[in-house]
Chains A and B, each alone.
Chain A
Amino acid sequence: MLELVDVYKTFNLGTINEKKALNGVNLKLEAGDFVTVIGGNGAGKSTVLNAIAGVWPVDSGAIIIDGMNVTGLPEHKRASVLGRVFQDPMTGTTATMEIQENLALAARRGQFRGLRWGITKKEKKEYRELLATLDLGLEDRMTSKVGLLSGGQRQALTLLMATLKKPKLLLLDEHTAALDPKTAAKVLELSDHIIEDHKLTAMMVTHNMRDAIIHGNRLIMMNEGRVILDIKGEEKKRLTVEDLLRKFEEISGEEFANDKALLG
């Protein structure tokens, strides 16, 4: 479903801030894979997701989604096959537009947007039912501006928007990191449900090793812009946080320096 071939990206080339963010990333996802991505700060986790989404062009390598080479496509043209949820709850929705209008924007991802109505009566009905499944009471606030919602509500709505048109790949970029623990757990549970129900292929970046182990059928660890560990199937099911830490030290030759990942 997704193939990354020797993807390289360096930021601020030739300046004092030069940073080799992606250092030859190779990865192949099968349809239905739910991969969790872990790694220390600056390991390249979010950078990989941004490379796939086309936030900027990569320096070299190829990005292939469901057989289509998207390496040369800008961000808005890749959007038709991707669903994305970001770390910052403010990023995924439009605060000055209504809840139903945000959903209508997402429903037209990948379509030409002309002079037909931005939202139809039929859609409003569908969205009401869809919002009811979130169990947050949003179905009664369809015409409220999204700016009035809490971070958790906005993240749940973003998740709904990202999957409203079934994406070939769902990218979750630390989408629970900015939420309180209780809300984070709820949004994670919702993510699991949606991915399972729609049989989506998904990548989820997380700082939390335990979450990375519990969720998904596959786990990759990144370090210095490379995939250094790829665990799937039965092995993934038996994995513990201690295993992960030991493997990290074995491969990278250094200690995993990230309190948040250990304590989380």
Chain B
Amino acid sequence: MLNLLPVLGSLYLGNHDPMALVRALPGNISQGLIWGIMAIGVYLTYKILNFADLTVDGTMATGGAVTVMLILAGYPPVIAVAMAFVAGMVAGFVTGILHTIFGIPDILAGILSQIALYSINLNITGGKANQAVSVDQFNLLVSLRYISKTILVTGIITIAIIAILYWFFGTERGFTIRATGCNPNMSRAQGINTSVAKVIALVFSNGLVGFAGGLLAQYQGNCDVNMGRGAIVIGLASVIIGEVLGEAIFGNKLNFCGRLLFVVFGSIIYYVVINFVCWLGLPSIDLKLFSAIVVAVFLAVPYLRAKSKNSYRRAAKGGTQ
């Protein structure tokens, strides 16, 4: 039986060209880098602020819509993505106000912004579900037609973003955000306005997501009103995969820079894995199901592992021996 396995395997894989995986790798890396910027945004809210921000699904598409429309209107692509950053910041600001001033719980505040953005995004694109922007007509920053340029540009941008965030979270203002995310009561007792700290983090997080949306739209040559659907899941997957991997390799020595880098690695790995399961034959309509399962498993495993060391069943069997 065991001898049959390789035979069956080669029969199955015979229809699949392993070189296709290798050829797809640069594309996966460029896609992973773009989504890595988005995932860094998710890291700011989910990990540092302890705020599960669902605005990002809308912000991603907003960034795309703003970028494409501005490029079509004749603005340089650099200005267009900069404005995508600003648009994302506005979206994050709204979520922050809904949460801090109007007392709406974090997840709900994010969902409200996300739904509102759906209409706003359609208004930006003039009522069309998608708008194309061709790399032949415009000198785009990134494009899937020029993969190596894309990797270079997004790689440099990513390093710059990580450097800026590393600096910012070492400043007094950055400290207030870290403290607010961990212990809001203590933060207020130390004179920190926790509402301001939350809004700042949401603003920058969504700014990054909008920026990533702007890059993604250029990369794929169009913006789509649904391009951000499930973005939070991809962002979380990157954050979690990166964290598990980073801690497995570096343990507690992993510093803030390292963590952000591993978020980007997590995103790249995510796209390599997605490409791999597609290559194995997973229909593309099942991709989001697969993504959700991956995230659920990565979230559940650390919890269950901790629980298994501390369970009633184990106690009934006579403890740890």
Which residues does A use to contact B, with CB under 8 Å? Answer: 53, 75-77, 79-80, 82, 84, 86, 90-97, 101, 104-106, 108-111, 113-119, 161
- Stretch of B34-42, B79-87, B165-173 on the interface side: B165-173
B192 at interface (Cβ–Cβ under 8 A)?
yes
Q: Are B191 and A118 in contact (CB under 8 A)?
A: no
A80 with B191, Cβ < 8 A, contacts A97-B178, A116-B171, A117-B171 known = yes
CA A91 to CA B179, docked complex, whole Å: 12
CA A161 to CA B192, docked complex, whole Å: 14
Q: Are B170 and A117 in contact (CB under 8 A)?
A: yes
- Of the candidates B170, B172, B178, which one forms a contact with A114 in the assembled complex, judged by CB atoms under 8 Å apart? B172
CA A259 to CA B257, docked complex, whole Å: 53
Which residues does B use to contact A, with CB under 8 Å? Answer: 168, 170-176, 178-179, 181-183, 185-194
- Report chain A residues within 8 Å CB of B192: 76, 79, 105, 113
- Report chain B residues within 8 Å CB of A84: 189
- Report chain A residues within 8 Å CB of B186: 91-94
- Nearest CB of chain B from residue A118's CB, rounded to whole Å: 4
Task: Name the residue among A53, A82, A95, A113 with the largest chain B CB count within 10 angstroms.
Answer: A113
A79 with B179, Cβ < 8 A, contacts A118-B170, A118-B171, A118-B174 known = no
Q: Are B185 and A91 in contact (CB under 8 A)?
A: yes
CA A95 to CA B183, docked complex, whole Å: 8
Tell me whether chain B's interface is mostly helix, strand or loop, or mixed.
helix
Nearest-neighbor residue (CB-CB) of A161 within chain B: B190
Q: Are B170 and A110 in contact (CB under 8 A)?
A: no
- Nearest CB of chain A from residue B81's CB, rounded to whole Å: 24
- Report chain A residues within 8 Å CB of B170: 117-118
- Report chain B residues within 8 Å CB of A77: 191
- Nearest CB of chain A from residue B186's CB, rounded to whole Å: 6
Nearest-neighbor residue (CB-CB) of B183 within chain A: A94
CA A106 to CA B181, docked complex, whole Å: 16
Q: Are B194 and A76 in contact (CB under 8 A)?
A: yes
The 6 closest A-B pairs by CB, nearest first: A79-B191, A113-B172, A118-B175, A109-B191, A96-B182, A75-B188
A105 with B193, Cβ < 8 A, contacts A113-B172, A114-B173 known = no
CA A95 to CA B50, docked complex, whole Å: 13
- Report chain B residues within 8 Å CB of A76: 187-188, 191-194
Q: Are A110 and B191 in contact (CB under 8 A)?
A: yes
CA A77 to CA B192, docked complex, whole Å: 8
CA A119 to CA B183, docked complex, whole Å: 19
- Nearest CB of chain A from residue B147's CB, rounded to whole Å: 37
- Report chain B residues within 8 Å CB of A118: 170-172, 174-175
- Nearest CB of chain B from residue A170's CB, rounded to whole Å: 12
Task: Name the residue among B172, B174, B190 with the largest chain A CB count within 10 angstroms.
Answer: B190
Q: Are A97 and B179 in contact (CB under 8 A)?
A: yes
CA A115 to CA B200, docked complex, whole Å: 13
- Nearest CB of chain B from residue A223's CB, rounded to whole Å: 27
Q: Are A79 and B185 in contact (CB under 8 A)?
A: no
- Of the candidates A94, A104, A106, A113, which one forms a contact with B173 in the assembled complex, judged by CB atoms under 8 Å apart? A113
A97 with B182, Cβ < 8 A, contacts A76-B188, A84-B189 known = yes
Task: Name the residue among A75, A77, A94, A117 with the largest chain B CB count within 10 angstroms.
Answer: A94
Nearest-neighbor residue (CB-CB) of A110 within chain B: B191
Q: Are B190 and A106 in contact (CB under 8 A)?
A: yes
Nearest-neighbor residue (CB-CB) of B196 within chain A: A76
Q: Are B189 and A113 in contact (CB under 8 A)?
A: no
- Report chain B residues within 8 Å CB of A80: 191
Nearest-neighbor residue (CB-CB) of B173 within chain A: A113
CA A205 to CA B73, docked complex, whole Å: 67
- Of the candidates B172, B179, B194, which one forms a contact with A94 in the assembled complex, judged by CB atoms under 8 Å apart? B179
CA A79 to CA B187, docked complex, whole Å: 10
22 interchain pairs (CB within 8 A)?
A76-B194, A77-B191, A79-B189, A79-B192, A94-B187, A95-B182, A95-B183, A96-B182, A97-B179, A104-B175, A105-B175, A109-B191, A113-B172, A113-B173, A113-B175, A115-B171, A115-B172, A115-B173, A116-B171, A118-B171, A118-B174, A161-B190
Q: Are B191 and A91 in contact (CB under 8 A)?
A: no
